[in-house]
Structure 1
């Protein structure tokens, strides 16, 4: 089960945590995160389509794939198509949520009209222990022996409401008219605060061969408390508390526990980001990019391996993008290829390193009581 979860957590990694890996890549390179997400959304659907087949193969071998390929195809195709359209037309924040919802709904509806020849016996949550899922004759148009859900439609919608609310609010936050309100000249631009970093802003100069003409690098901290995606998440949590009738004390306790649980990841990512900016402003990334530019036309082949290596070492696509995105973009400029393509390749390559990252494996073993069996 732990291995299956690690494999399943590949294609969604690039857009995980509401697109944070893509957003970080945009921050360290200065490239529009929407463009990076759109490019990654063109690279990853093939992997997304393949993952369900891989999972079935790991569970039941080729026989399982032969017997369940229609369901695997529906699950993978619905995820891949939704991932592509969401990343290319909405933004990098929502592909994982919309793709997962689309895949769940599509597969559920498909199983209303199709059943595999063999189904594993399992108890249905909320039903007495003597109710077991039985095997069906298989194929299309066959009656399903699955018991009806013990939950009403309203109960199901209420349980899913946090995800639905989050999807709606994040979609609003990513719309161009909403973003325009906080752009220079927008009605709410006054709520965006920019702080120039003393003794650094405009004092580091890029020169040839990195750029054609000497260019000063800005060092500005941008604080946008309303237009940031995190604000949409915060409002989603508040609305969900009202719908689920969660009292303030419980909400604050949950927030405190979550913050405590994430204390080390927050510190780790913060330190990685700090190191990434040091490498950028010191010229280390540019120097390494000049070396990699010597690979010429072969670099696009090696580009995803950098992302893979970064995620394998750090356990995070966000950290990998923070470390290598600037290097990827600078190398792309040197060899005359798209910087958006190379930065997206770093992100896409990183997703396959997630499942074999020592950090991910350690977490999976800890969660399943398999410590020492990594």
Structure 2
């Protein structure tokens, strides 16, 4: 049975890590600098991965190609399957007009763009990340924010920053389940440990969003709602990942955080509205 050597390059973990990172570097260069089509860049990166595995690490050719085939199969199901279904549902809601209904529903909660950014980009984006992942929440929430009057660049920035907190448990916790499969470590142990780290980030992301939208004034005027959203999300993420289920973590956290903000807005409003 093949046992991976951790430092095949001159007995150095640093140099071995740099060589192991070559496939990623090649992929980023081909996509970002050469502007090559994604499928071709991915194939070239796969070829580099196989060469590194066989000639540097030294992995037998048969297990190397079998690992590549397993990765391709896993990439199609569940990853690509989730994305295809998410895009299909999104286009169906747009075609039937329900997407506009959803957008107007969020707008009725508050006409303040700072609150809209927290609810749509953070809470609703986390729900999309939980169910679909892989860039879907950034694309969809950006469109919704632009439709509500956000400038395109600001909408994209808010959506990207908002997607930092829920991404570890995205797509029904695919990153966690993949890590458990690759390492052989218990899923619950990994989920619990990640669920103790990501809530620390989740608390402050809504504050970062209102700062991006309206600067210091936004933080000063809307920090109560942002903190309610962040704290509820963080507590729900911690509790669900540690005591319930990894795939349900972001689903529970996103729904509870959105509900908490909606209820909080019944007893509190910003001193000034920002639109």
Normalised TM-score (structure 1):
0.38
Greater Rg over alpha carbons, structure: 1
Greater relative contact order (CA < 8 Å, ≥ 6 in sequence): 1
Structure (1/2) with the larger strand percentage: 1
